[in-house]
A and B are shown apart, each in its own frame.
Chain A
């Protein structure tokens, strides 16, 4: 029949409807339907280092991949659950990295203290520094956060503090390669599933309210700035952890921690993976980071390819991979007559 007379209809699978209720644990099929994708992700990532045992170089790439996944997670949370579009993810990594370098090199704290301390204090510091701009909205918040890492870079350059352009060297490395690898993988999974819990709590609901209509949240007697403060602290917590990890991974904290890469690649990952799903952020960076490693031979041309992919996704497939996959998993499509 003529396709013009037809329209595509999407209907939830029976399995999906059943697993939403108490029947979810009534049969193996339902349990598998719910757990399957999650287990695939968890087992896949944990097994990845063993699979890559033959290619040591790519094991390093997995570390970087997880770092970007964490940053993308924090961007996704801020942008799609709180409505604060933070173009300066590098601000978090920079603060976290420099703080852990100070704790480790100048104060002589061991690595298992310096990373957590840098994470917590860095998150607090970022929150305090961003506090004045929290009432801002939309484009204004985006521009101001884009300026923060640039400003810190120039200040460190101009004042020649914290090692100036050379950075702080001589950080402790991780005791061995497996701890190095699994520290970030486990933390990534913890943060991912933790965030999924967090956004479905009551407080997550309020945060989404802030995104959709902050005036009505304020009318309900909830302080909007407090809520945003909390959200920024959570996002900065994740960002500072990855910054501290990167600093210890390279045994160096320098100006490149404020580099644009840490702001752009996570955003690209979220756009490609699918905003608002949290898992999409991971998937996006699992695609983009290896892609950029493959393209490393092209030099700066890889950024061109990158940007072309990003623009293409924004223009033609703005929903992202994860939302597409979720649709295919939960629903079936059929053509019906108009």
Chain B
């Protein structure tokens, strides 16, 4: 029972972490390797708002932090990525460099040690089927489902959302219908970074804000997206459940050292067998000889 409950929580955590990465890749075809950095940055900004300047109320600080992170994502696209659009390797190197710069800049700016924590939304815990679960984890599950529902509604019943999906499906045809490719890419990066910030604010109260977590987040996001198929949303959810349960099972029966090994092995095995992932729609010829 414990495995089931914590497996579900872990899976939803993973899908929250990777949702932004998957969204950006599926819409603008930019592998946003700065994802983990934006995640940590959102947490740090919230901490700054709460503790450094005049103490903002918690909800306001959260909204401001998510807004700022989205803005940074949009700026990254507007000033850097727009010039190297379509050159995949340059995109990877540039976004990775930006992410590294943000993370190491934060470390230099004083983000060290265990002193940086965010308070949980609601303290305390509750018993479900004989397992102790704190409220924060329940909130994570709830808002994870909520954000998926919101994104579904946004992309299916909203003009901007429909434009995003149009670009994702066929960029040329969408551009012929008057959808601005660069504008949608900016929006997608803003939403993707905002989602990274949202995930950070939900998940960071469980631990403390440390720079190293940024790298792990990136690896988990890539793992989930590769297994689910780069650019497929349904695949993202399924893949995060696969990895989430695999991790909880290895933790229960082996040791927690193997958590990352599981994710990395999953990436390698998936890429070897079916590079486009479980639900990938890319053509076979584009990915292998």
Q: Which residues of A pack against B, CB within 8 Å?
A: 79, 85, 87, 132-133, 135-140, 142-144, 147-148, 150-151, 154-155, 157-158, 214-215, 218, 224-225, 264, 267-268, 271, 298-301, 303-304, 306-308, 310-311, 314-316, 318
Contact = CB atoms under 8 A, between A and B. Distances in A.
Choose among B92, B93, B100, B264 the residue with the greatest number of A CB atoms under 10 Å from its CB: B93
Contact of B264 (A147, A267, A308): A147
A143 B267 contact: yes
A267 B96 CA distance: 12
Contacts of B105: 300-301, 304
A150 B264 CA distance: 8
B287 A136 contact: yes
B100 A214 contact: no
Contact of A147 (B84, B100, B268): B268
Contact of B101 (A142, A307, A315, A318): A307
B90 A314 contact: yes
Given A87-B92, A224-B289, A314-B84, A301 B108 contact: yes
B83 A315 contact: yes
A300 to B, nearest CB: 4
Contacts of A132: 272
A142 B289 contact: no
B212 to A, nearest CB: 12
Interface of B: 31, 80, 83-84, 88-90, 92-94, 96-98, 100-101, 104-105, 107-108, 219, 222, 226, 230, 255, 257-258, 260-261, 264-265, 267-268, 271-272, 275, 285-289
Chain A interface main SS type? helix
A285 B84 CA distance: 23
Nearest to A271: B93
Q: Which of B94, B100, B289 has the most CB of A within 10 A?
A: B289
B222 A300 contact: no
Contacts of B275: 136, 140
8 A-B pairs closest in CB distance = A307-B101, A158-B257, A307-B97, A303-B104, A151-B264, A301-B108, A135-B288, A300-B104
A298 B286 CA distance: 44
A138 B88 CA distance: 8
Contacts of B219: 147, 150
Contacts of A214: 289
Contacts of A157: 257
A144 B108 contact: no
Given A139-B89, A304-B105, 20 more contacts: A133-B268, A133-B271, A137-B288, A138-B88, A140-B288, A142-B89, A142-B92, A143-B267, A151-B261, A154-B260, A155-B261, A267-B93, A307-B104, A310-B93, A310-B94, A310-B97, A311-B98, A315-B80, A315-B83, A318-B90
Contacts of B100: 264, 303, 307
A298 B108 contact: yes
